[in-house]
């Protein structure tokens, strides 16, 4: 079978014989892959002109719903991907991380749409006043870059590696060209075929290269974004491409790193934390046969517990069934290929020149229902380095397989220093039930890690573990780990967008951002805004209410109703040394009184109060003062219709500006209401 590339909106078979890809368990040929004949420059131009235009014209809400639909579609077809994934040497659990973990990224980013407006672009942060009179201001918007996201992925996660990146760039409004590692690209191709067949993505949103990417980086430009996952040496080579430097192309690099796990001194043998530590180490050594960029390579243990830990890890690995992952009972499959086995053995040889082998055998181990000669099998190997400050190779050499090294520490400062010696890691874990130890480790080790897991008996049940990056948190790390940051919730989406400072009048910026900017012109209408449907409301539409005078009785009654008898509201004799000159009205009374002024009591399109944001009480309100309200439509966010609802709706954000008889603001807040739509939204 010859793998196909998806380029320029069609499936294209690469020319020439191509590279033969093998089943990692049996050594039989699976497919051949070739990208010869593809025009990478043409693919990039197609992505920019077709895919980018289609995606950038969609709103965040539309893109998010697209991701959700795609996630549901792929989840219904997941079993076929497991069958293909077995050929990479991955067990069911290994493949679950890759396949359902990847689809989970689509779901997570689909939900992230709720943090963005129903617009193709995003207004970031707070407005900035730039003049005394309030007629000149600034803000920041982010718009999708006009290029293509080029993803160069590693062999160990052919599905997750693609979907965790694409979910973010699609939500941001950019198309992608995915270049999976050729070795396992047959899994990626199977998923991409279904993605294309689904018709869920707009044309040009995704292209696939099975085979060498050769000169693709020679054709990227400053509007494109490149991400790379793989070895540090390959990443450095790609990042140094003259065109990348010349065009100042954003290059996000996530490299394999020498991640560490630390056993706290409180976690002595016999404690739940000790057992959790052993379980976590075993998992990190065997899941994906240790072929994870996040896998634990350095096991940092209190010197007094070294023997106990060594024995416990050995016991946990004894009896581990290694073999063809399609065979029942097999708990550890094969490495991705025989070339990977050779590379791991070469690195292991270097490590063993200064470390002691304390568990495992490179050659003598049993394989269950698999070809030990033709397959790519390797048993877990545990090393011991008793002098990690002198024998520093442990912190510099990585065997990308089921190989980890134990080392001792005498106090927490030493443990922190050993963790730092990795010169930058994707993640680190500390297993401790002592929060003081946890705090000291995190604060002092965070400079060298992209993520730190604190594991103990209370978090263990729901913890996703050392090696599992989460889509709404940053995945990446400094130094050797590449200095990049992928995913990370809203931060990850912004990576594919251009931030631009905009300046002008509040009215102009209100129109640009589709968010009312304080000081902008009001749009007044005789019809009360609460009588209007979602579609009818305009950004900047304002109701200026009648006024009411606050009395002593109001303050007393509100105190009795709310049970808030704070002295500033109820005891005029206790005000010395405070900002108040007399009893002051409750801030929440002022807000409640404001609602009484602006709410229209009759039943209408407004269904309910959805929440309150950014509430500030800026000036004391005393008895005898008169307040009024300027209620302005600040922002509108459409919502999708739920199956059990017979109406469609949106969230309207209102700026509530409460002012006194001098015209000065005494309270300001944003309230959210759920408002019905009149029409049917597709």
Which residues are identified as catalytic? 254, 293
State the CB neighbour count (10 A cutoff) for residue 42: 12
Q: What SS3 class is residue 296?
A: strand
Rounded-to-integer distance, Cα 347 and Cα 99, Å: 29
State the Cα torsion 239-245-250-256 to the nearest 10°: 10
Q: Which long-range contacts (CB under 8 A, 24 or more apart) does 553-557 make?
A: 554/585, 554/589, 554/593, 554/623, 555/583, 555/584, 555/585, 555/586, 555/589, 555/623
Rounded-to-integer distance, Cα 165 and Cα 182, Å: 18
Q: Which two tokens stand for residue 564?
A: 């808030």
- Answer yes or no: are the C-beta atoms of 545 and 631 closer than 8 Å: yes
Rounded-to-integer distance, Cα 467 and Cα 156, Å: 13
Rounded-to-integer distance, Cα 516 and Cα 672, Å: 14
State the CB neighbour count (10 A cutoff) for residue 339: 12
Q: Which two tokens stand for residue 65?
A: 């719903």
- Nearest Cα neighbor of 591 from 567, 617, 570 is 617
Torsion-angle region of 319 (φ positive above 0: left; ψ -120 to 50: alpha; else: beta): left
State the Cα torsion 189-192-194-196 to the nearest 10°: -130
Give the position of tokens 């890890």. Answer: 313
């Amino acid at each position: 079978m010859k793998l196909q590339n998806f380029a320029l909106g069609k499936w294209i078979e690469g020319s020439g014989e191509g590279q033969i890809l093998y089943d990692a368990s049996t050594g039989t040929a699976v497919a051949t892959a070739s990208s010869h004949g593809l025009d990478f420059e043409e693919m990039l131009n197609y992505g920019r002109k077709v895919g980018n235009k289609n995606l950038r014209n969609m709103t965040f809400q539309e893109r998010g719903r697209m991701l959700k639909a795609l996630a549901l579609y792929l989840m219904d077809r997941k079993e076929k991907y497991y069958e293909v994934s077995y050929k990479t040497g991955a067990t069911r659990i290994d493949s679950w991380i890759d396949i359902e973990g990847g689809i989970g990224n689509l779901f997570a980013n689909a939900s992230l749409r709720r943090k963005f407006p129903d617009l193709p672009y995003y207004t970031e942060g707070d407005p900035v006043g730039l003049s005394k009179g309030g007629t000149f201001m600034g803000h920041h918007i982010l718009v999708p870059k006009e290029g293509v996201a080029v993803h160069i992925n590693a062999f160990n996660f052919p599905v997750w590696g693609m979907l965790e990146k694409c979910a973010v760039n699609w939500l941001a409004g950019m198309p992608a060209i995915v270049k999976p590692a050729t070795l396992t690209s047959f899994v990626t191709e199977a998923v991409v075929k279904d993605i294309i067949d689904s018709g869920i993505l707009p044309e040009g949103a995704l292209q696939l290269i099975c085979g060498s990417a050769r000169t693709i980086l020679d054709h990227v430009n400053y509007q494109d974004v490149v991400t790379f996952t793989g070895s540090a040496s390959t990443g450095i080579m790609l990042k140094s491409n003259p065109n990348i430097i010349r065009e100042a192309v954003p290059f996000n690099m996530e490299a394999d790193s020498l991640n560490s796990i630390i056993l706290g001194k409180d976690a002595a043998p016999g404690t739940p934390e000790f057992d959790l530590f052993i379980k976590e180490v075993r998992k990190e050594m065997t899941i994906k046969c240790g072929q994870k960029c996040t896998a634990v390579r350095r096991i940092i243990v209190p010197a007094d517990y070294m023997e106990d830990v060594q024995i416990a890890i050995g016991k946990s690995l004894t009896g581990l069934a290694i073999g063809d992952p399609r065979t029942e009972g097999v708990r550890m499959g094969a490495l991705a290929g025989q070339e990977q086995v050779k590379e791991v053995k070469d690195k292991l040889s270097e490590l063993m020149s200064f470390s002691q082998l304390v568990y495992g055998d490179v050659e003598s181990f049993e394989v269950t229902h698999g070809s030990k000669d033709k397959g790519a099998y390797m048993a877990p190997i545990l090393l011991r380095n008793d002098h990690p400050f002198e024998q520093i190779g442990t912190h510099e050499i990585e065997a990308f397989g089921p190989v980890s090294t134990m080392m001792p520490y005498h106090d927490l400062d030493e443990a922190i220093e050993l963790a730092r010696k990795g010169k930058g890691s994707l993640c680190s874990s500390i297993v401790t039930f002592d929060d003081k130890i946890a705090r000291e480790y995190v604060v002092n080790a965070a400079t060298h890690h992209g993520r730190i897991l604190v594991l103990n008996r209370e978090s263990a049940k729901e913890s996703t573990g050392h090696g599992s990056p989460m889509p709404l948190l940053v995945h990446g790390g400094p130094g050797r780990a590449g200095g990049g940051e992928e995913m990370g919730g809203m931060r990850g989406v912004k990576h594919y967008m251009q931030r631009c400072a905009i300046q002008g009048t509040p009215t102009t910026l209100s129109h640009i951002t589709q968010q009312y900017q304080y000081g902008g012109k009001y749009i007044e209408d005789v019809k009360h805004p609460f009588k209007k449907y979602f579609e009818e409301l305009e950004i900047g539409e304002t109701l200026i209410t009648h006024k009411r005078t606050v009395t002593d009785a109001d303050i007393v009654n509100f105190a009795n109703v709310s049970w808030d008898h704070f002295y500033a509201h109820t005891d005029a004799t206790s005000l010395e040394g405070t900002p108040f000159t007399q009893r002051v009205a409750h801030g929440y009374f002022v807000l409640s009184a404001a609602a009484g002024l602006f709410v229209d009591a009759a039943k209408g399109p407004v269904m309910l109060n959805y929440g309150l944001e950014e509430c500030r009480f800026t000036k004391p309100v005393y008895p005898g003062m008169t307040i009024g309200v300027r209620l302005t439509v600040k922002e509108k966010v459409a919502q999708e219709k739920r199956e059990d609802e017979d109406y469609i709706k949106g969230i309207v954000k209102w700026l509530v500006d409460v002012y006194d008889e001098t015209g000065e603001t005494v309270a300001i807040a944003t309230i959210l209401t759920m408002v019905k739509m009149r029409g049917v939204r597709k």
